[in-house]
């Protein structure tokens, strides 16, 4: 295997690991006009390269992507994918829920001669709006805001459900405790001498000779239940 092919394989594998770890879509496509060229789509970014052959073009495109993502080093990747991963996550969520993401732009002139891009994103009942002098940044910010709204909504639902659950649990607990207290207040525990006579009566026939008010009937009931 040639050195170029080996290098290409290693770098593509490295980028694929970043793709898997960060949940970013990675895809190679043929160049639309150059027979030996290649396009690499990595999340929201597109890398284009034209080399002597397709393998070389893919290698060069992969190198460009890795440079943007810190050559695969986790500490450098984290800051590079923070906005990109939000776009990837929302598109992934869109596919799972089969819900369409609607993106609209408004362009206004900037006082210094540039443009202000206002992006409006709608998804599953959530709407976000963000403005920036960079079109891509306005989109990234909108996607992040949508995900933040979804996250806050889920937390609110969880806390609400959790609170209701706790209230029901407390009610049941209080009811249960009250009924137990009522039951306990009605339970008569045998005295030591009554328990001793009961234990003898379990294994043999006896005649209980006790004074009035000593609990002869109570012992008899215990024996009958036994």
* C-alpha–C-alpha distance, residues 114 and 95, integer Å: 36
Domain co-membership, 59 together with 92: no
Domain co-membership, 89 together with 139: yes
| pLDDT mean over 150-178 | 55
CB 15 within 8 A of CB 42: yes
The answer as to whether 153 is a domain residue is yes
Between residues 83 and 66, which one has the greater pLDDT? Answer: 66
Domain co-membership, 153 together with 82: yes
The answer as to whether 181 is a domain residue is no
Domain that holds residue 6: 2-69
CATH code, domain carrying 54: 3.30.160
Domain boundary among 26, 43, 69: 69
Domain co-membership, 89 together with 149: yes
| Digit-coded pLDDT (tens) for 85-112 | 677 778 877 877 788 889 898 888 766 6
Q: Is the pLDDT of residue 204 over 80?
A: no
Owner of token pair 């209701």: 164
Domain co-membership, 84 together with 140: yes
- Coil, helix or strand for 98? coil
Q: What share of the chain is helix, strand, coil (3-state, %, to 5)?
A: 60, 20, 20
Six token digits for residue 85: 């991963």
In angstroms and rounded to an integer, the radius of gyration of the C-alpha atoms of the chain is 37
User: pTM of the full predicted structure?
Assistant: 0.35
Report which listed range, 105-109, 120-124, 156-160, 214-218, is most confident. 120-124
Burial label for 218, CB within 10 Å (0-12, 13-18, 19+), is middle
* C-alpha–C-alpha distance, residues 40 and 57, integer Å: 9
The answer as to whether 168 is a domain residue is no
The answer as to whether 182 is a domain residue is no
The answer as to whether 17 is a domain residue is yes
β-pairing, 26-30 vs 115-123, is: unpaired
Domain co-membership, 87 together with 42: no
| pLDDT mean over 155-166 | 51
Residue 36: pLDDT band (50, 70, 90) is: very high
The answer as to whether 169 is a domain residue is no
Cβ-Cβ contacts under 8 Å for 81 (sequence gap 6 or more): 22, 24, 43, 69
Domain co-membership, 65 together with 82: no
Domain boundary among 138, 158, 178: 158
How many domains does one find in the chain? 3
Between residues 74 and 205, which one has the greater pLDDT? Answer: 205
């Amino acid at each position: 295997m040639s050195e170029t092919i080996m290098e290409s394989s290693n770098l593509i594998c490295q980028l694929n690991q970043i793709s898997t770890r960060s949940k970013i879509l990675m895809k190679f496509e043929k160049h639309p006009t150059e027979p030996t060229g290649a396009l690499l789509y990595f999340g929201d970014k597109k890398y284009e390269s034209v080399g002597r052959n397709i393998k070389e073009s893919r290698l060069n495109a992969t190198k460009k992507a890795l440079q943007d993502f810190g050559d695969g080093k986790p500490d450098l990747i984290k800051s590079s994918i923070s906005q990109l991963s939000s776009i990837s996550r929302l598109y992934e969520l869109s596919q799972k829920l089969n819900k369409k993401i609607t993106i609209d732009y408004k362009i206004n002139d900037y006082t210094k001669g540039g443009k202000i891009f206002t992006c409006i994103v709608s998804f599953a009942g959530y709407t976000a709006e963000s403005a920036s002098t960079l079109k891509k940044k306005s989109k990234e910010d909108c996607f992040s805001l949508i995900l933040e709204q979804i996250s806050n909504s889920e937390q609110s639902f969880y806390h609400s459900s959790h609170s209701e659950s706790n209230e029901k649990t407390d009610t049941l607990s209080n009811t249960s405790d009250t009924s137990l207290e009522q039951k306990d207040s009605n339970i008569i525990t045998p005295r030591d001498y009554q328990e001793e006579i009961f234990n003898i009566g379990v294994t043999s026939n006896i005649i209980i000779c006790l004074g009035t008010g000593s609990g002869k009937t109570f012992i008899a009931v215990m024996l009958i239940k036994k």
